C-alpha cells in the first residue's frame, strides 16, 4: 500500500520563493576560526619570556598545547549546537566532519598538554621522566580544579575511543550518541582549571574576559538551539503520529500531524531528528528526511528498517506524541545554480529526492530522477514518482540488478548516453556512501563540475 502527499504547484511556488543566490559562509567562518587560533598563539607568545633551558621549553610547550586545546573545546561544542547558519547553509554533513576533526585534534592536544606539563613539573622538582605519573597524582591533589580536569580528560578519552571507526560501527547508535553527549560534561569540568591555573589568564585580565566571553557565547548558543528552540517548536506544533503505512517490504512511511506545520520553515531535502514518545523509543533520537513537501497539517518520513529504532517504527500507533528537532540540512533548492537538475537516489535515499522531485521548479524535461535499487520491488514510492513525472513532464529512470544479480552499470558513458547534456545539470545525490562515491566519480568523468554535485553524508 502507498500513500500520496502531493503539494503540486503550490509546493513549487513555495520552493521558488526560497531560492536565493547561495552564499556559503564556510570561508568567512574558517577565517574567523584561524583568526581566533592566531590570537591564542599571540597571547602565548606575548606572555612567554626568553626560555633558556629544557624545562622551560617543555613547560611552554605544555602551555601552548593547553591554550589551543581550550580554544578547540569551545569550537567542538559550537559545532554541536546546531546553529541554523551552519546546519542549513554549510551543511550538516560538513559541520559533522568539522566536529569530528576538531574532536581528534582536541584530544591530541589535551594528551600532549598533560604529558608536557607534568614532565616539566617533574623536572622542576628534580625528578625524572619516569616520575610523571607520581607528579600527575601530586598535581591533582595540590592544584585547584585539577581533580575536575582529570575527570574531564578521562571523559574525553572515552569519547575519543568510542568515535574510532571500528568501535563506532560496532556500537548501537543510541549508545554512541549518549556517550557523545558527555562532551558537554568534559568541557565543563576542564574549563575551570584553565582559569585558576593558567598563567596567561592570571597576568592578562583581558584574556580571561575573552575566554569567559567565548565559552559564555557558546553555552548560550547550545542552550538556545539545543534546548529552548526545540521546546518552543514542539509546544507550538504539538506533533503526533497519524498513521504508519508499509510502502514496500521493510520500508514504512510515518505520517505526522500537527498544528501549522508549514510554519516550521522546513524545505524539501531537509531532515529532522525525531523522537517518538512510545515505550522503548522515548530516549532515542534519530535523523530522518522528509519524503514529501511539508503541508500545513502533515509531514511524512519514509524509513527503511536497518536498525532497532527504524524497525520499531512500524509498531507506532496513531496518537503517539512526537518530539522533533530541526529542520536541518542544506540539500535544498537553494543549492541549485542551473536550469536542469538530475536527482540521483540510492535505496532509501529516495526520501529527500522524492520531495525535491515534486517541488523543484522547472519546465518539462528540466528535471530527471535516477533511482537505484536492488529489485523493482525495492522501488519505494514508485507510484508517487511516476505520477509526479507524468504531471510535470519530468524524466524518471530506475536502475536495478538483473535477475542474475548483476549490478547496473552507472558509468560516465551510460550517464552521457541517457542524458547527453549532463554536464549542464546540477546534481543532487542521496544514498549509501559507496554508491554516492561511485556515482560522484562517474559524474566528474562525465564533465559535471564538483561545485554542482550536491550531496550530504552523515557517516562519521
Listed by start position, the domains of the chain span 26-232, 238-328, 333-455
Q: Burial, 192: exposed, middle or buried (Cβ in 10 Å; 0-12, 13-18, 19+)?
A: middle
Q: Burial, 241: exposed, middle or buried (Cβ in 10 Å; 0-12, 13-18, 19+)?
A: buried
- Smallest Cα–Cα separation from 214: which of 187, 185, 179? 187
The pTM of this model reads: 0.81
The answer to whether 270 touches 332, Cβ cutoff 8 Å, is yes
Query: Residue 36, CB half-sphere, CA atoms under 13 Å: how many?
Result: 18
Report whether the peptide linkage leading into residue 327 is cis, meaning its omega lies within 30 degrees of zero: yes
User: Averaged over 167-180, what is the pLDDT?
Assistant: 87
Q: Burial, 259: exposed, middle or buried (Cβ in 10 Å; 0-12, 13-18, 19+)?
A: exposed
Asked if 26-232 and 333-455 have one fold, the answer is: no
Question: What are the grid coordinates assigned to 262, written together?
Answer: 508549514
Class of domain 333-455: alpha beta
Three-state DSSP class for residue 258: coil
Fold of 26-232: 1.20.120
- What's the CATH superfamily of 238-328? Translation factors (2.40.30.10)
- If one counts every other C-beta atom within 10 angstroms of the C-beta of residue 427, the result is 25
DSSP H helical ranges for 308-376:
308-312, 350-359
- Report the Cα 150 to chain-centroid distance in Å: 29
Q: What is the pLDDT of residues 4-33, one digit of tens each?
A: 455 555 444 444 444 444 445 567 778 888
What pLDDT, on a 0 to 100 scale, did the predictor assign at position 457?
67
End-to-end CA distance of the chain: 35
What pLDDT, on a 0 to 100 scale, did the predictor assign at position 90?
77
Alpha-carbon distance 107 to 104, whole Å?
A: 5
Q: What is the pLDDT of residues 276-332, one digit of tens each?
A: 999 888 888 889 999 998 889 999 999 998 877 888 999 999 999 999 998 988 888
User: Averaged over 383-397, what is the pLDDT?
Assistant: 94
Question: What are the grid coordinates assigned to 411, written together?
Answer: 558509468
Alpha-carbon distance 69 to 396, whole Å?
A: 51
Amino acid at each position: 500500500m502507498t500513500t500520496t502527499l502531493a503539494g503540486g504547484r503550490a509546493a513549487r511556488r513555495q520552493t521558488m520563493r526560497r531560492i536565493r543566490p547561495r552564499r556559503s559562509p564556510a570561508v568567512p567562518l574558517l577565517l574567523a576560526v584561524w583568526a581566533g587560533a592566531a590570537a591564542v598563539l599571540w597571547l602565548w607568545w606575548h606572555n612567554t619570556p626568553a626560555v633558556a633551558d629544557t624545562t622551560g621549553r617543555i613547560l611552554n610547550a605544555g602551555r601552548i598545547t593547553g591554550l589551543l586545546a581550550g580554544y578547540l573545546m569551545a569550537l567542538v561544542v559550537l559545532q554541536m549546537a546546531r546553529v541554523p547558519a551552519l546546519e542549513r547553509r554549510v551543511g550538516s554533513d560538513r559541520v559533522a566532519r568539522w566536529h569530528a576533526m576538531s574532536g581528534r585534534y582536541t584530544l591530541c592536544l589535551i594528551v600532549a598538554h598533560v604529558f608536557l606539563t607534568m614532565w616539566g613539573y617533574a623536572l622542576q622538582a628534580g625528578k625524572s621522566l619516569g616520575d610523571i605519573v607520581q607528579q600527575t597524582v601530586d598535581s591533582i591533589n595540590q592544584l585547584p580544579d585539577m581533580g575536575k580536569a582529570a575527570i574531564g580528560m578521562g571523559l574525553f578519552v572515552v569519547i575519543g575511543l568510542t568515535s574510532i571507526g571500528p568501535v563506532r560501527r560496532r556500537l548501537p547508535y543510541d549508545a554512541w550518541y549518549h556517550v557523545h553527549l558527555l562532551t558537554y560534561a568534559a568541557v565543563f569540568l576542564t574549563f575551570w582549571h584553565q582559569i585558576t591555573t593558567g598563567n596567561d589568564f592570571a597576568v592578562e585580565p583581558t584574556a580571561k574576559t575573552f575566554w569567559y566571553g567565548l565559552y559564555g557565547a557558546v553555552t548560550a548558543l547550545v542552550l538556545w538551539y539545543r534546548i529552548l528552540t526545540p521546546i518552543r517548536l514542539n509546544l507550538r506544533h504539538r506533533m503526533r503520529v497519524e498513521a504508519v503505512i508499509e510502502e514496500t517490504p521493510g520500508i514504512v512511511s510515518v505520517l505526522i500531524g500537527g498544528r501549522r506545520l508549514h510554519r516550521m520553515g522546513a524545505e524539501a531535502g531537509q531532515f529532522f531528528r525525531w523522537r517518538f514518545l512510545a515505550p522503548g523509543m522515548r530516549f532515542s533520537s534519530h535523523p530522518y528526511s522528509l519524503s514529501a513537501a511539508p503541508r500545513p497539517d502533515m509531514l511524512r518520513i519514509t524509513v527503511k528498517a536497518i536498525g532497532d529504532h527504524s524497525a520499531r517504527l512500524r509498531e507506532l500507533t496513531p496518537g503517539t506524541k512526537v518530539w522533533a528537532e530541526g529542520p536541518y540540512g542544506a540539500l535544498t533548492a537553494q543549492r541549485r545554480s542551473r536550469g536542469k537538475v538530475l536527482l540521483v537516489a540510492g535505496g532509501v535515499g529516495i526520501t529527500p529526492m522524492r520531495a525535491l522531485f515534486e517541488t523543484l521548479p522547472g519546465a518539462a524535461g528540466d528535471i530527471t530522477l535516477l533511482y537505484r535499487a536492488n529489485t523493482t520491488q525495492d522501488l519505494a514510492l514508485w507510484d508517487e514518482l511516476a505520477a509526479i513525472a507524468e504531471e510535470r513532464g519530468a524524466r524518471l529512470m530506475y536502475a536495478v540488478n538483473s535477475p542474475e544479480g548483476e549490478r547496473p552499470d552507472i558509468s560516465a558513458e551510460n550517464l552521457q548516453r541517457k542524458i547527453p547534456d549532463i554536464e549542464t545539470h546540477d546534481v543532487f545525490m542521496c544514498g549509501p556512501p559507496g554508491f554516492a562515491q561511485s556515482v560522484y566519480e562517474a559524474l566528474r568523468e562525465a564533465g559535471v563540475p564538483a561545485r554542482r554535485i550536491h550531496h550530504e553524508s552523515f557517516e562519521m
